[in-house]
């Protein structure tokens, strides 16, 4: 009996510690939601506020009136709508091809993708700008979604590679014996089995393009093309001290990302190699 008590005390202590740490990471985001609901124009609260009374939901409609955020939001959706499907097709093709290669080449390609992930994006600003200028892509969305044609991130290719590697090779072999070409095997056999990876990569791609601030800043010129992150910068320049509105804008920008992340969190955390449907 004492042993059980001691063990449950350890469990309780563990959860208290983990909960405290989790709160440290989440509380700032809760503060933001509270701050976004504060009546603009009121003197700032002298203590930390958890729920303003009364909550000013009108802040959320105000920000769409003082800046064309609705239009920018539409633009952001267009960019994401273009980038996500292209990324999924290219990254899964590359991953599928890698999974079919003999081991020595494969290992080199994996090393290469890991190294490519190490390239600082800042190093590409100037030359991409010149490249896009000569291709007349400056001030178009093609400049923003250019990385999608390369799978958006070497990491996405690796994710697809891992999930294709975990599939029983007999499946692919059987399809090949039936006379299917690589494209048919990819579409009919491999992709349907990789559904969790498609979800994960899809969400990560969405996050990457939705949150992208630097590329629109560098490559877009016309105001009518601006995306939501640039809109938030404009909101900040309009009135840097109107915190309730700025926080409402931040919530609008981060809400879809957090929501999607919650939806796929189960596929996101590793379960260990030996569990799962395709354990080796």
Partner 1 sequence: MVLLPTLLSFLLALTEYDAISPPVWRGWQNFAAVLQDQLFLISIRNSALFVLLTAPLRLLGALALALLLNRPQPGVKIYRTAVYLPTVVPSVAYALIWLWIFNPIYGPLNLLLGSLGLPTPAWLVNDKTALPALAFMALFQLGEGFAVLLAGLQEIPQDYYRAAALDGANRWQMFRYLTLPLLAPWLLLVAMRDIIVSVQGTFTPALLMTGGGPYYATLFAPLLIYETAFDRFRFGEGAAMMLLTFLSTGLLLLTVYKLVGGWGYADEV
Site for partner 1 in 67-96 (CB under 8 A): none
Determine the Cα–Cα distance for residues 168 and 183; give it in Å rounded to an integer: 18
Could you tell me if 97 and 106 are in contact, meaning their C-beta atoms sit under 8 angstroms apart? no
Query: Between residues 119 and 188, which has the closer beta carbon with respect to partner 1?
Result: 119
Q: How far is the CB of 172 from partner 1 (least distance, A)?
A: 19
The answer to whether 246 contacts partner 1 (rule: CB under 8 A) is yes
Angle made by CA atoms 89, 90, 93, in degrees to the nearest 5: 85
Determine the Cα–Cα distance for residues 52 and 82; give it in Å rounded to an integer: 39
Query: Between residues 183 and 263, which has the closer beta carbon with respect to partner 1?
Result: 263
3-state helix, strand, coil in the chain (%, to 5): 75, 0, 25
Place of tokens 């299917």: 180
Nearest to 207 by CA among 269, 118, 268, 248: 268
Residues between 253 and 272 with contacts to partner 1, criterion CB under 8 A: 253-254, 257-258, 261-262, 265-266, 268-272
**Cβ neighbours, 10 Å, residue 67:** 20
Among 129, 136, 239, 279, binds partner 1 (CB under 8 A): 129
Residues between 176 and 235 with contacts to partner 1, criterion CB under 8 A: 207, 210-211, 213-214, 218, 229, 232-233
Among 41, 127, 170, 224, binds partner 1 (CB under 8 A): 127
Q: How far is the CB of 250 from partner 1 (least distance, A)?
A: 4
What mask, x for binding partner 1 by CB under 8 A, covers residues 226 to 245?
---x--xx--x------x--
Q: How far is the CB of 198 from partner 1 (least distance, A)?
A: 19
**Cβ neighbours, 10 Å, residue 225:** 19
Q: By rule CB under 8 A, what count of residues binds partner 1?
A: 77
Widest Cα–Cα separation across the chain: 77
Residues between 4 and 43 with contacts to partner 1, criterion CB under 8 A: 11, 14-15, 17-19, 21-26, 28-29, 31-32, 35
């Amino acid at each position: 009996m004492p042993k059980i008590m001691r063990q449950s005390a350890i469990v309780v202590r563990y959860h208290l510690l983990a909960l405290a740490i989790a709160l440290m990471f989440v509380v700032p985001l809760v503060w933001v939601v509270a701050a976004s609901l504060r009546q603009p124009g009121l003197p700032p609260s002298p203590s930390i506020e958890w729920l303003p009374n009364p909550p000013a939901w009108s802040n959320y409609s105000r920000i769409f009136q003082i800046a064309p955020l609705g239009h920018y939001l539409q633009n952001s959706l267009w960019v994401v709508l273009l980038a996500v499907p292209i990324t999924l097709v290219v990254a899964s093709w590359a991953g599928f091809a890698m999974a079919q290669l003999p081991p020595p080449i494969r290992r080199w390609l994996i090393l290469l993708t890991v190294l490519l992930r190490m390239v600082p994006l800042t190093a590409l600003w100037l030359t991409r700008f010149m490249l896009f200028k000569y291709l007349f892509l400056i001030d178009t969305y093609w400049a923003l979604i250019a990385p999608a044609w390369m799978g958006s991130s070497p990491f996405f290719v690796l994710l697809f590679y891992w999930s294709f590697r975990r599939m029983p090779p007999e499946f692919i072999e059987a399809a090949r014996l039936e006379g299917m070409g690589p494209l048919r095997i990819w579409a009919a056999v491999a992709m349907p089995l990789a559904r969790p990876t498609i979800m994960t990569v899809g969400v990560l791609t969405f996050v990457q393009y939705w949150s992208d601030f630097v590329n629109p800043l560098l490559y877009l010129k016309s105001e009518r093309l601006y995306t939501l992150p640039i809109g938030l910068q404009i909101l900040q320049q309009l009135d840097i001290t109107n915190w309730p509105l700025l926080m409402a804008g931040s919530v609008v920008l981060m809400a879809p990302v957090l929501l999607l992340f919650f939806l796929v969190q189960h596929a996101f955390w590793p379960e260990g190699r030996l569990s799962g449907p395709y354990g080796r």
